[in-house]
Amino acid sequence: MEANNWLEIDLGALVRNARHLQTLIGRRCALWAVVKADAYGHGAIPVADTLHRMGISLFWVASIGEAIELREAGIFAPIAMFYPPLRDADWDAVMRHGLEVVIESESGYRAALQAAARWNRAVDAHLEIDTGMSRLGWRPEQLPDLLQLWRADHPIRWRSVFTHFACADSDQELTKEQLERFLAVVDRLRAAGFPEVPLHAAASAGLLALPESRLNAVRCGLLLYGIVPLFRYGDFSFVQEELEPVLRWRARVLSVRTIPAGQGVSYGWRFRAKHPMRVATLGVGYADGYPIALSGRTEVLLRGRRMPQIGRICMDMMMVDVSELPDVQPGEVATLIGKEGAACIRVEELAHRLNTTPHELTTRLGKRPTRQILKPAGEFFERDSV
* Single-letter residue type at 80: A
Residue ranges matching CATH 3.20.20.10 in the chain: 10-224
Cα–Cα nearest to 221, from 18, 34, 17: 34
Q: 385 pLDDT band (50/70/90 cuts)?
A: very low
Instruction: Verify whether residue 176 is a known catalytic residue.
Output: no
- What's the mean pLDDT in 331-347? 96
Mean per-residue pLDDT, 303-321? 98
Q: Tell me how far the alpha carbon of residue 42 is from its chain's centroid.
A: 8
Model confidence over 11-51: pLDDT tens digits? Answer: 999 999 999 999 999 999 999 999 999 999 999 999 999 99
Residue range(s) of every CATH 2.40.37.10 domain in the chain:
247-374
Q: Is the pLDDT of residue 224 over 90?
A: yes
pLDDT of residue 374: 95
Q: Which of 36, 83, 225, 290 is catalytic?
A: 36
Task: Please check whether residue 65 is in contact with residue 27, taking contact to mean a CB–CB distance below 8 angstroms.
Answer: no
pLDDT confidence of residue 384 = 45
The one-letter code for the residue type at 346 is R
DSSP H helical ranges for 249-314: none
Per-residue pLDDT band for 233 (boundaries 50, 70, 90) equals confident
CB-facing half-sphere around the CA of 314: CA atoms within 13 A: 14
Pick the CATH number of 247-374 from 3.30.56.10, 2.70.98.50, 2.40.37.10, 3.40.50.2300: 2.40.37.10
State the average pLDDT for the chain: 95
pLDDT of residue 239: 80
Question: Looking at residue 224, what DSSP letter applies?
Answer: G
117 close to 145: Cβ distance less than 8 angstroms: no
Residue 62 has pLDDT above 80, yes or no: yes
Reference 131, options 163, 108, 89, 172; nearest CA is: 163
Residues 6+ apart with CB under 8 A from 212: 179
61: left (phi over 0), alpha (psi -120 to 50) or beta: beta
CATH class of 10-224: alpha beta
The total number of residues written for the chain in this structure: 386
For the stretch 286-305, pLDDT in tens is 999 999 999 999 999 999 99
pLDDT at residue 1 is higher than 80:
no
Distance CA 222, CA 185 (A): 28
What per-residue confidence (pLDDT) applies to 377? 73
Percent of the chain with pLDDT strictly greater than 90: 91
Q: How far apart are CA 160 and CA 262, in angstroms?
A: 64
Identified catalytic residue from 83, 176, 267, 367? 267
36 is catalytic: yes
pTM: 0.94
Region for residue 90 given its phi and psi (left: phi exceeds 0; alpha: psi -120 to 50; beta: otherwise): alpha
